[in-house]
Amino acid sequence: MTDTRELFSVVPRSEFDTPGKSHGLIDVVRWRYLLRLLVRTGVTTRYRNSVLGWTWSYVRPAAQFLVFWVVLGFFMNLNHGIPNYAVYLFSGIVVINLFSEGFKNATTSIVGNAPLVRKVFLPRQLFAVSAIIVAFVHFLPQVGLLLLVCLFMGWTMQISLLSIGAILAGMLIVMTFSLGLGLFFGAINVRYRDAENIVELMLLLATWASPVLYAWTMVQDAVVDRLDWPSWIVELYMLNPITQGVELFHYAFWRPVTETALAIPPGLGWNTLWTFLIAVGILLLGQLVFRRLEGRFAQDL
């Protein structure tokens, strides 16, 4: 009988992994089979035992859109300053919904999977990444509804490669930013549950801190013209990754179907690059904090 110790003795030690040692987001790729399982579970269980099922993916954003459209469009007359306000509004709402769902679910992903974290070793980043992907899956029906409306309004006659690139860039920036924040607050939330309340406040402000309900030119008029503040405040506002994601969707969906004199934000192309780098920086920071704290997740849970 062959001694198994002799078989292992010829294998270089470099081929073995230290038990419980994490390699960060690289492990998400190595454990992609488990990532697919988590995503499938998150998608299928969201509307389990629900009568409407996936219809809620259309009902919830539609209700949100109608409330803002009636209150801001008719009561506050914002629809007079922004042509085709319905498309403008909805193209921003879908971006905010992607950010909000991904960020919130990634923040609670570790605490929500506490039994697994306590009992077995697996890359904990999988939970945050799967939360972002599940948010993206539920984001697709909303984009489909937006696209259907734009097609009805003649979107295909004005579509360009830049528009397609703007859609992809907007989604990439928002998802990267959401994942970075989700890793950061998700790690802190394990020990300090106040992080969930902070995230709720951030999501409450996110809709108003980006040009979803209003035009970016209103910020410029208020800051520079009326308040006489420095113009760099507006530039800083435009470097918000969520603001850039919303403006990219406006460029891709709203402008092709709208005849408007509303100016394109200055430096839209360069701001896309800068906001992507900012989102990547937040992702690296979130990953750094996550790896520093994940060693105590099992004890803190």
pTM (predicted TM-score): 0.85
Q: Is the pLDDT of residue 278 over 90?
A: yes
pLDDT at 6 over 60: no
- Tell me what the mean pLDDT of segment 232-238 comes to: 89
DSSP labels for the chain?
---HHHHHHTS-GGGSPPTT---TTHHHHHTHHHHHHHHHHHHHHTTTT-SSGGGHHHHHHHHHHHHHIIIIIIIS-HHHHSTTHHHHHHHHHHHHHHHHHHHHHHHTHHHHTHHHHHHS---THHHHHHHHHHHHHHHHHHHHHHHHHHHHTTGGGT--HHHHHHHHHHHHHHHHHHHHHHHHHHHHHHH-THHHHHHHHHHHHHTTTTTTSS-HHHHHIIIIIIS---THHHHHHHT-HHHHHHHHHIIIIIGGG----PPPPTTHHHHHHHHHHHHHHHHHHHHHHHHHHGGGHHHH-
Q: pLDDT band at residue 258, thresholds of 50, 70 and 90? A: confident
**164 or 27, greater pLDDT:** 164
Is 209's pLDDT higher than 60? yes
What is the rounded average pLDDT for all residues in the chain?
82
pLDDT given at position 74: 67
Give the pLDDT band (50/70/90) at residue 242. very high
**Range with lowest mean pLDDT among 7-16, 176-185, 251-260, 284-293:** 7-16
% the chain with pLDDT above 70: 81
pLDDT in tens, 102-123: 999 999 988 888 787 777 777 8
What pLDDT score was predicted for residue 247?
A: 93
CA 150 to chain centre: 23
In this prediction, residue 66 carries a pLDDT of 74
